[in-house]
Chains A and B, each alone.
Chain A
């Protein structure tokens, strides 16, 4: 009880402090109901110059082997940094990817990255995309060589990281992380309801209640994911083995990371391979399309039945609730 009181006092005093200062947009801030921060910020303090540099790198096609594909090609801001155009995304030399480009938002809170969780630190995520033959097909060392030849970058790296003579990969990766860390999506209607400045419609509220009882085991918490890896019954044999590629265990065949559902109304196509174009198709999969296999999530196998039991009306209401997770401030933020 004492602890609880103490916590309340701390939260109160911090938020008081908050009101006294003008909000600094280059400072990582997030609601108290978000999960705990995973990124070790003390190793990479965010600055305006570092963030701006990361943003420039994120949008620079020179990170790819033929200077044609930037991170932002497949992670487009207006759709919460996913890919609205190609399914799957297209890398250098018109090469098709194999997986759906995931949203880049709230990265500071994620314990593992990529759909199979193979990358365990945000700094290392761009290395995968740069060196992947289907994405940017470039070597990290060559990107660094290219950047060192560009006067503008040398100056901007020095602005972000004082006394830096030669650009090296860790500084490039730290800058990219600074940019991605600040991509916090926390201004959806869902948040405004929590903050008491908006109200759900009756149908949205009914959808939320249904969501909480039917979907929130995996899509839990304020980011709508438990960060687990599950086989959600898309297939019974697996072209892409997913998590098993990383753990090398048959018990993880066909499992993929539970995605955050924030901005889900904007981030079609859906599933690890982008097979569904609409949320209706997604809900229909869970209602009628779940396929059995030894690694199928237990949550999708209740009382001998596969899938999640929902009426048409219930599915519609869940989608109405899901649309309250769209954060229009996030996808139109001029700073991003």
Chain B
């Protein structure tokens, strides 16, 4: 008579299969598609310039921060999640997050070195007019609590996972500045011998009130200047720009002589607080 007072978990396999069938919604032929493109740019003298990337170690510096320190960029990558579109007449579309061992939906990894990654296609958007987009920079609890995931959240291949404080880096930047005294660690493109390396790994996903945890993901809401008209067969294309210089300048100026090797939530707060201003709505192609 082993284990007299037991509760058995009998239904788990059934639950698993039941939840699969929920995804099989038939496509509604009145729904349309919206493309959202994230253009990483550098706003120099009020002009949007295409981003220049350099090979690691390069001393060719294209950019200058507000403290007049030069820098360049090896790597720029960030997660976008929790996308919502809203319209003036109550139109509403939510790109639901779902995470499994083989696929991730509703979370996107925009990587400057992979141009197709900047284009997000939202399908099955109900017909109507939309004038607002909301999204989160980073991966919230809904991307972490399912555990080990595949696709762009695969901890082996995404290069955006912190194993000691398990969760995903929201935004990762690596480059060089002559004002940095190097010594950065735990990066993809730099090592301890990179004498001018700068690394900003902005993370911290635990959003728990009343705790000391630093939450660095940022929820943004951007208004469109014209309405995106969605109907079956049409595909409005929304352009959002992300200005790299604003990551370093703005609410908090980032100083490459000091805080240039960021790998913990608290160290990343200053840049995280610049993130909302770095993203702006640009235009819509109807």
Residues of A that sit less than 8 Å from B by CB: 11, 14-15, 17-18, 23, 27-33, 37, 40-46, 118-124, 127-128, 131-132, 139-141, 143-144, 161, 168-171, 173-174, 177, 186-187, 194-197, 245-249, 251-252
Contact = CB atoms under 8 A, between A and B. Distances in A.
A328 to B, nearest CB: 13
A40 B146 contact: yes
A15 B4 CA distance: 8
B56 interface: no
B147 A40 contact: yes
A247 B145 contact: no
Nearest to A41: B12
A23 B1 CA distance: 11
A121 B163 CA distance: 11
B89 interface: no
B155 A169 contact: yes
A45 B147 CA distance: 13
A31 B6 contact: yes
B212 interface: yes
A101 to B, nearest CB: 16
A28 B213 CA distance: 33
Nearest to A131: B163
B149 interface: yes
A233 B145 CA distance: 33
A144 B156 contact: yes
Interface residues of B, number: 43
A16 B2 CA distance: 14
A174 B147 contact: yes
A131 B163 CA distance: 8
Given A173-B147, A248-B214, A251-B212, A186 B154 contact: no
B8 A29 contact: yes
A65 B212 CA distance: 35
B212 A123 contact: no
Contact of B166 (A11, A31, A118, A194): A118
Nearest to B99: A43
Q: Which of B3, B150, B161 has the most CB of A within 10 A?
A: B3
B211 interface: yes
Nearest to B16: A45
A170 B12 contact: no
Contacts of A32: 5-7
Contact of B164 (A15, A118, A144): A118
B13 interface: yes
B19 interface: yes
B9 interface: yes
A37 B156 contact: no
Contacts of B47: none
B226 interface: no
B235 to A, nearest CB: 32
Contacts of A195: 4-5
A169 B157 contact: yes
B47 to A, nearest CB: 39
Contacts of A42: 12, 15-16, 19
A14 B8 contact: yes
A11 B101 CA distance: 34
